[in-house]
Homo-oligomer: A and B are copies of this chain.
Amino acid sequence: QSSVTLWGRINTTVESQKVENQDRKAVVQNNSSRLGFKGTEDLGGGLKASFLLEHGLNSDDGKATNSAFWNREAAVQLSGSFGAVKLGRWTNGSYFATADYVSMHNHDTGTSSDALYSGVGWTEANKVGYFTPNYGGFTAEITAHAGEGVDKRAFDLAANYDQGPLHLGFGYSNQGDANQYAIRGLYELGAFTFGGYYQREDIGTGSKPTRNIGRVSAMYTMGASEFHVNVGGTESGGLQGANGAKQYTLGYNYNLSKRTKVYGFYTAVDSTADNKKGDFDSLAVGIRHNF
């Protein structure tokens, strides 16, 4: 008999949200809650077979987050000294290596997640991926998405380097004429952690197909407390359209344990468009419980 591991995260906030010119409203908000099933079989000689199923759920209304029930991952993998080969559905490595990595205050979920990062070339389903072994802190993955006559073939490339306090990342994705790449750095300096990324988007069409996006973030840790600040900006162009935008987030986490925190944040997206179009802000308090 095999053994299956269950794991997940329920992360829920109560927020006061303001969307553009609408009335401010109270909202119970999901922040990327999930339930996962996984298991690994040792095949001998360093070879292992694994399966991974990860369901994203709305912790506020109980619905599946996406029309695909296993919208976060549905995969089978063979791994060994050569690295790993994976088939199925999963989230792009180029994202985890860059935008997700520096969004430290609430692991890039919910209303304070990165609103400006470009998802051009983003695909999740029908993928084949190769993951390298760890070479002295360096890892990489490359993924191909089969269009299957429905959409275009897509590729995703991610690289990560971790050495002591230094953490670097690179991500690239492409589908048809559209592509994006980003570089990310993160440095730990005592109680402080500093991170940032720069991204270049090119949607391959329109009068201004490209734009530059950037973000910096910092965390200060004191006992069970974490203080966060996170600021991003984007030019106009590409998927962003005619206006640029900025996003500011201030966050405070109190870690009740390694698995559970209570926290609060204020986040605001400020577009250059008129009449508060595209603007959003939220003041939130919440609980995140990993299991």
Residues of B within 8 A of A35 (CB): 37, 53
Picked from B8, B70, B290, the residue with its CB within 8 Å of the CB of A62 is B70
Q: Does A200 contact B (CB under 8 A)?
A: no
Q: How many protomers of this protein does the assembly include?
A: 3
Residues of B within 8 A of A128 (CB): 14, 28
Residues of B within 8 A of A28 (CB): 87-88, 125-128, 146, 148
Q: Is the interface of A mostly helix, strand, loop or mixed?
A: strand
Residues of B within 8 A of A120 (CB): none
Task: Name the distance in Å between A10's Cβ and chain B's nearest Cβ.
Answer: 4
Residue of B at shortest CB range from A66? B62
Q: Does A273 contact B (CB under 8 A)?
A: no
Give the size of the chain A interface in residues (CB under 8 angstroms): 72
- Alpha-carbon separation in the docked complex, A260 to B73 (Å): 20
- Also in contact, A25 and B149, with CB within 8 A (given A74-B59, A87-B14, A88-B12): yes
Residues of B within 8 A of A43 (CB): 256-257, 260
- Also in contact, A62 and B51, with CB within 8 A (given A28-B88, A146-B28): no
Task: Name the distance in Å between A38's Cβ and chain B's nearest Cβ.
Answer: 9
- Also in contact, A51 and B146, with CB within 8 A (given A59-B75, A126-B27): no
Q: Does A82 contact B (CB under 8 A)?
A: no
Task: Name the distance in Å between A220's Cβ and chain B's nearest Cβ.
Answer: 23
A57 touches B69 (CB 8 A): yes
Task: Please list 23 pairs of residues, one from A and one from B, whose beta carbons are closer than 8 Å in the complex, sorted by A's number.
Answer: A1-B5, A2-B290, A8-B51, A10-B88, A14-B128, A22-B149, A25-B147, A25-B148, A26-B148, A28-B87, A28-B88, A41-B259, A49-B289, A51-B289, A57-B74, A58-B68, A61-B74, A62-B125, A63-B67, A63-B70, A76-B288, A87-B286, A87-B287
Residues of B within 8 A of A14 (CB): 87, 128, 146
- Also in contact, A69 and B64, with CB within 8 A (given A25-B149, A37-B6, A148-B25): yes
